[in-house]
């Protein structure tokens, strides 16, 4: 694998120049708070009140001002040293010329209940990730279903079959929104015979999945050889705790359509042992199991965690992530890189423009200047080494995948905002 030259910039981190004005404001505000607290203390000590209600009122005001001052002081931690980052994926493409130069990527998708988290959302999430502008043979997608539902498994099989048409279509037409539901529902969808044909295929797949969810089981009319093979494993009685139940390869050749590299993407689905009396600890337990299973199966140096109802709206996301992990100046000490989250239908009028700015935009920029932002729970790329021992003890199979061997400093976290 080739890596960036010293003069080839992959990313840029910049301290916001406006922080000087905020620091000046914080200094003045601190003086005002100190004056108010001094006045309250002087009132209590030097001018004692004669009645209990007046004393209690003054004491309550003191406590309120102390609490508000403490909250304001904590909020200033996000504004003292704000750092913005910018990746340069165009420079990365000058280094990684061949598909085999890219490091492998494991994607973890977690779901729990097919009725609270519809299988079509799981399928849409998987399809949006499969269609990344990334070598498909380097992608491995792991889906954990705490509910152990055959309905979710059916949706994944249908998504994989549809992906054989959807992935080449996205690549050839340079589709940006690669979640089918979002693309066909947008005003940017092309209006031609090919698009209408693929849209019809997607609607048929969606109808099949929704009908299966409505009936609660897989009817004979929807079963095929792929379903029989997968559900044969699903119904086996001698399954150990937490194993892979479905593993197949998604070829990207469609009829006479030219093969875009003739590569494949591996999808794996796993379920907890429903006979075990032990708690599986929900999403945390699912991620831990996926981490162990993927270490044995693919052991990719980078891991992407996603919720089942979160789709990727930018196919170049993995390339932007690599701009940080492949930078020798920060990559050896980098624990994870994560992207902000947007919400469709955040409220009825969408007055926030699908964004929760304070949590996902403002605060992480401030934390970038400290030890790094907190984990959002989704949309995050982890270095596998962050989960296995100290940075100075790399996993042996990963030595071939990254350019550094021995590390000494503590991990860093970066948020892209």
How much is the pLDDT for 409? 32
What gap in Å lies between CA 88 and CA 74, rounded to an integer? 33
Q: Is 11 exposed, middle or buried (0-12, 13-18, 19+ CB in 10 A)?
A: buried
How much is the pLDDT for 232? 60
Structure tokens at 117: 């988290």
What gap in Å lies between CA 158 and CA 137, rounded to an integer? 20
- If you compute the radius of gyration of the chain from its CA atoms, what whole number of angstroms results? 26
| Element (DSSP H or E) covering residue 28 | helix 19-46
Cβ neighbours, 10 Å, residue 400: 9
Question: How far are the Cα atoms of 113, 122, 205, 388 from residue 210, in angstroms, in the given order?
Answer: 14, 13, 9, 40
Known binding residues: 116-117, 146, 283, 307
How much is the pLDDT for 304? 95
Cβ neighbours, 10 Å, residue 269: 25
Mean pLDDT by 10 residues, the chain (417 residues): 62 90 93 91 72 79 92 90 91 85 92 89 92 90 85 88 89 89 82 88 94 87 68 50 45 39 58 61 85 86 92 92 90 88 69 71 86 88 83 47 34 42
Residue length of the chain:
417
Q: Which residue has the tokens 């993995």?
A: 318
* Strands (DSSP E) found in 256-357: 264-271, 302-307, 334-338
Question: How far are the Cα atoms of 16, 24, 71, 106, 265 from residue 20, in angstroms, in the given order?
Answer: 9, 6, 21, 41, 49
Cβ neighbours, 10 Å, residue 412: 17
Question: How far are the Cα atoms of 335, 340, 367 from residue 412, in angstroms, in the given order?
Answer: 5, 17, 11
* Strands (DSSP E) found in 112-263: 139-145, 243-251
Helices (H), 240-362: 282-297, 317-325, 357
Known binding residues for UDP-alpha-D-glucose: 116-117, 146
Q: Which residue has the tokens 């693929």?
A: 198
Cβ neighbours, 10 Å, residue 411: 17
| DSSP code of residue 359 | I
How many Cα atoms occupy the beta-carbon half-sphere of 371 within 13 Å?
Answer: 5
Q: What is the pTM of this model?
A: 0.81
What gap in Å lies between CA 79 and CA 358, rounded to an integer? 12
Cβ neighbours, 10 Å, residue 301: 21
The answer to whether 407 and 392 have CB atoms below 8 angstroms apart is yes
Residue ranges per structural domain of the chain: 17-78
Tell which residue, 137, 142, 128, 130, has the closest CA to residue 288. Answer: 142
What's the N-to-C CA distance of the chain in angstroms? 29
The answer to whether 119 and 214 have CB atoms below 8 angstroms apart is no
- CA angle in degrees (0–180, nearest 5) for 157-241-381: 60
What gap in Å lies between CA 390 and CA 381, rounded to an integer? 18
Known binding residues for Mn(2+): 283, 307
């Amino acid at each position: 694998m080739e890596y960036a030259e010293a003069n080839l910039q992959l990313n840029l981190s910049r301290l916001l120049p406006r922080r000087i004005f905020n620091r000046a404001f914080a200094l003045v505000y601190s003086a005002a708070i100190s004056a108010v607290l001094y006045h309250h203390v002087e009132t209590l000590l030097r001018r004692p009140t004669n009645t209990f209600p007046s004393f209690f009122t003054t004491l309550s005001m003191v406590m309120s001002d102390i609490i508000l001052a403490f909250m304001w002081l904590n909020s200033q931690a996000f504004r003292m040293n704000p750092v913005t980052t910018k990746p340069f994926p165009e420079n990365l493409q000058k280094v990684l010329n061949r598909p085999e130069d890219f490091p492998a990527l494991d994607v973890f998708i977690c779901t729990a209940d097919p009725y609270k988290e519809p299988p079509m959302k799981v399928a849409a999430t998987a399809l949006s990730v499969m269609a990344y502008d990334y070598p498909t043979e380097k992608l491995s997608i792991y889906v954990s279903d705490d509910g152990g539902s055959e309905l979710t498994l059916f949706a994944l099989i249908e998504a994989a079959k549809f992906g054989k048409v959807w992935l080449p279509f996205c690549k050839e037409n340079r589709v940006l929104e690669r979640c089918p539901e979002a693309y066909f529902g947008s005003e940017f969808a092309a209006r031609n015979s090919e698009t209408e044909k693929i849209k019809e295929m997607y609607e048929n797949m969606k109808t099949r999945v929704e009908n299966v969810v409505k009936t609660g089981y897989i009817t004979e009319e929807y079963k095929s050889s792929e379903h029989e093979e997968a559900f044969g494993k699903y119904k086996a009685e001698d399954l150990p705790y937490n194993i892979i139940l479905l593993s197949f390869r998604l070829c990207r050749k469609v009829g006479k359509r030219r093969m875009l590299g003739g590569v494949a993407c591996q999808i794996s689905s796993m379920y907890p042992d429903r006979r075990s009396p032990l708690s599986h600890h929900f999403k945390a337990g699912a991620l831990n199991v996926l981490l162990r299973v993927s270490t044995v199966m693919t052991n990719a140096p980078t891991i992407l965690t996603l919720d089942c109802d979160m789709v990727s709206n930018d196919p170049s996301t993995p390339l932007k992530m690599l701009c940080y992990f492949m930078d020798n100046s920060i990559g050896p000490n980098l624990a994870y890189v994560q992207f902000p989250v947007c919400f469709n239908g955040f409220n009825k009028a969408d007055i926030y423009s699908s964004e929760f700015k304070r949590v996902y935009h403002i605060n992480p920029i401030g934390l970038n200047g400290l030890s790094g932002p907190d984990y959002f729970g989704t949309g995050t790329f982890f270095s596998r080494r962050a989960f296995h021992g100290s940075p100075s003890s790399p996993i042996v199979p990963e030595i071939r995948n990254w350019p550094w061997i021995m590390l000494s400093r503590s991990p860093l976290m970066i948020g892209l905002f």
